[in-house]
Amino acid sequence: MDTQLHNRRFLRSVEAILGTALVCPKIEIPAPSEWAKSALGFAPDAKQAAVLDHDARRLILCCARQWGKTTIIGIKALHAAVFHPGTQVAIISKSLKQAGILIGRVCQSAAILGYPRKRVRGHEHSLELPNGSRIFGIANSEGAIRGYTIDIVIVDEAAQIADDVIGAASPTLGRTNGKLWLLSTPNGQTGLFFNVWHDAQLTGWFKMKATIEDAPYASPAFIEEQKRLFPYKFRQEYYCEFTPVKGRLLNHERVNQMLDPDIAYVPFPRLSQETL
């Protein structure tokens, strides 16, 4: 058979297949904030909606106590899991029990959607969806996260998690170009959460701050009482101030004031065989 005839026949058969093929319906993925309202009956406020709808690969929430960090990130994680089959989400918190609180919120929402309660094998605090997506808690230790390949790593109470643990979790995102979401109320002036929040040169991070004034969920009387009872903690817990940890001799601002930018960087002398 000559090549031209062969090509004509091939094209005719492709046309025939295209003519009879069923058109796959395009699945419209709803915006997470709209989906939260319509599917879960949860009405986010403006800042919560912005966090839900932003598709940042890197997200840091520096928000007041009880603002809704755990709830919002739980909804965001479930949205990803439902609409992107096979999504693997790992949650690290101060303890597995604490990670279980976030997963508990996820399970409540999943139950509203009618998903069966199925755990991921080997993970007490977890949810596996019929589409293969998995959300599971990981112990707060460097060793626990090794070996996984993850799409979304969530660090709840991130200011209280050791940098080395987050450092061990980050490589699990390397192959998937996955997402890292840090959420916390401040806790001192050191650590990754503090550094990321203050590093203006870190690009690609979606940063959201929300104080008690952004979401006046507590009565003025409650706020006044908290201020009186816990004057030191109050600024941190409700106004998201990175106050120095009690007992520290110098705070971050003081140390910065003492640095002289005109002094060139002097590398630490390397110990070589000759100097020993």
Ligand X SMILES: Nc1ncnc2c1ncn2[C@@H]1O[C@H](COP(=O)(O)OP(=O)(O)OP(=O)(O)O)[C@@H](O)[C@H]1O
Beta bridge partners of 123: none
Least Cβ distance, residue 68 to Mg ion (angstroms) = 8
Interface with ligand X, residue 71, by CB under 6 A: yes
DSSP structural state of residue 66? T
Q: Which residues contact 79 (CB under 8 A, 6 or more apart)?
A: 32, 35, 36, 52
Q: How far is the CB of 71 from ligand X (least distance, A)?
A: 3
CA atoms of 71 and 101, how far apart (whole Å): 9
What is the number of the residue whose Cβ is closest to Mg ion? Answer: 70
Query: Any contact of residue 236 with ligand X (CB under 6 A)?
Result: no
Q: How many residues of this chain bind ligand X (CB under 6 A)?
A: 13
Interacting residue with Mg ion among 47, 51, 52, 70 (CB under 5 A): 70
45 binds, among ligand X, Mg ion, none (CB under 5 to 8 A by kind): ligand X
Considering CB distances under 5 to 8 angstroms, the limit depending on partner class, which of ligand X, Mg ion, none binds residue 160?
A: none
CA 64 to CA 49: how far, in whole Å?
A: 16
**Alpha-carbon distance 89 to 138, whole Å?**
10
CB-based contact 135:126 (threshold 8 Å): yes
Instruction: Write down the H helix ranges in the chain.
Output: 3-20, 32-40, 46-53, 69-83, 96-112, 163-169, 192-198, 220-229, 231-239, 252-258
Find the residue with minimal CB distance to ligand X: 68
x/- map, 10-49, ligand X, by CB under 6 A: ---------------------------------xxx--x-
Choose the one of Mg ion, ligand X, none that binds residue 53, judging by a C-beta under 5 to 8 angstroms depending on kind: none
Give residues in contact with Mg ion (CB under 5 A). Answer: 69-70
Give residues in contact with ligand X (CB under 6 A). Answer: 43-45, 48, 63, 65-71, 185
